[in-house]
Amino acid sequence: MSIDPIQARGDLRLTRITKSYGDFKAVDDLTLTIPKGSFFALLGPSGCGKTTTLRMVAGLEEPTVGSIHLGETDITTT
């Protein structure tokens, strides 16, 4: 997918993201907004979905449910 860098400026928004592998939910109904220009950290115990969330933001995994937006651009699908 080609993303227009001009339109893709703005907050990173994850809306109702779920990632399932069979019956196992690696990420369950996550909604998160990271303001443009912010630094952030995902903290939590092993197996709570940190890496899966980052892989979805990077486009390496697609959410089972939900959407990911960078500014006004939908970057959910890879």
Report domain extents, the chain.
12-74
Query: If pLDDT is split at 50, 70 and 90, which confidence band does 1 have?
Result: low
Cα(13)–Cα(31) distance, integer angstroms: 8
3-state helix, strand, coil in the chain (%, to 5): 10, 35, 50
Cα(49)–Cα(43) distance, integer angstroms: 10
Please name the fold of domain 12-74.
Rossmann fold (3.40.50)
> pLDDT averaged over the chain?
91
> Mind listing the pLDDT tens digit for each residue in 20-61?
999 999 999 999 999 999 999 999 999 999 999 999 999 999
For the segment 5-9, the average pLDDT, to the nearest whole number, is 63
Q: What is the pTM of this model?
A: 0.86
Residue 9's pLDDT is 82
